[in-house]
Chains A and B, each alone.
Chain A
């Protein structure tokens, strides 16, 4: 083996994104093993990572972590380029757009829970549109909308609370000693 003339030097940014993406991928693989009553409904635990990255490092990093998670996660569970992959990708893109907007809400009043709920609803909306147009071109799919919406509400809230908890502990460690 000759040494490659091209050398990629990962920056600190790359390493940080890779670390968070790895955590998100692990969560999405774990979650693939959890049985769900309705196909397509998932807790979206990996979104906790997206939310944390969004608040800590901004939207650009959240996009990187999310897209890496969708691609690598689908490779790991054997879904790459399968219908489920495109549903995940559309959901992820829709929720990233929602997060991009939600991050501009005044932070004094709106925290990770709001962002998580916005992302969760954007996620199902994007998925349902793609599913209706492409995978199940039938209005019967609309019967499932209330169940997807309920799942988005519950999991959006749960993930938002989890992210808020993680970010709270951030503030604790940053706070001066003896302050708490």
Chain B
């Protein structure tokens, strides 16, 4: 190790330390996406609790967001499938309220693959 090598090492360690918060930023890019007829009507970050009302074909659906998860809290559909699905927390999980033409999807994390083989 020469003097400059220590400097390079420190510089690289500082770079790694500067990048480290990305790993812990958690749900920054994670969000719940609400669509009506396939068109995005709301994108809610999964970092803070919120309730929103979305107008669908039958009436108003209530979407509830808590840190890290989201659900359809109320829906005017007859069979309530999307409500009974409960909380969604996995990336790409989806609750579809077909009668009301709405869907709720969790989006934003890297795990868009079930598996990777090398």
- Of all chain B residues, which has the CB nearest A150? B16
- Of all chain B residues, which has the CB nearest A120? B12
A121 touches B15 (CB 8 A): yes
Given contacts A108-B2, A140-B29, A147-B23, is CB(A117)–CB(B16) below 8 Å?
A: no
- Please, what's the 1-or-0 string for B24-66, where 1 marks a CB less than 8 Å from any CB in chain A? 0000010000000000000000000000000000000000000
- Of all chain A residues, which has the CB nearest B24? A146
- Of all chain A residues, which has the CB nearest B5? A113
- Please, what's the 1-or-0 string for B84-111, where 1 marks a CB less than 8 Å from any CB in chain A? 0000000000000000000000001111
A113 touches B9 (CB 8 A): yes
Number of interface residues, chain B, beta carbon within 8 A: 25
- List residues of A (116-173) whose CB comes within 8 Å of B's CBs: 117-118, 121, 136, 138-147, 149-150, 152-153, 156-157, 160-161, 164
B112: A residues at CB distance < 8 A = 136, 138, 140
- Of all chain A residues, which has the CB nearest B8? A114
- Of all chain A residues, which has the CB nearest B2? A111
Q: How far is the CB of A70 from chain B (nearest CB, A)?
A: 16
B16 touches A118 (CB 8 A): no
A143 touches B15 (CB 8 A): no
A109 touches B3 (CB 8 A): yes
Is the C-beta of A57 less than 8 angstroms from some C-beta in chain B?
A: no
B118 touches A144 (CB 8 A): no
Interface size class of A (residues with CB under 8 A): 20 to 34
B12: A residues at CB distance < 8 A = 117, 121, 152-153, 156
**How distant is the Cα of A105 from the Cα of B2 in the complex, in angstroms?**
12
A143 touches B110 (CB 8 A): yes
Is the C-beta of A106 less than 8 angstroms from some C-beta in chain B?
A: yes
B13: A residues at CB distance < 8 A = 153
Closest 7 CB pairs of A and B: A140-B110, A109-B4, A110-B4, A113-B5, A114-B8, A146-B23, A146-B19
User: Which residues does B use to contact A, with CB under 8 Å?
Assistant: 1-5, 7-9, 12-13, 15-16, 19-23, 29, 108-112, 116, 118
User: Given A109-B2, A113-B2, A140-B110, 11 more contacts at CB 8 Å?
Assistant: A109-B7, A110-B4, A110-B5, A111-B4, A117-B12, A140-B112, A143-B22, A143-B109, A146-B22, A147-B23, A153-B13
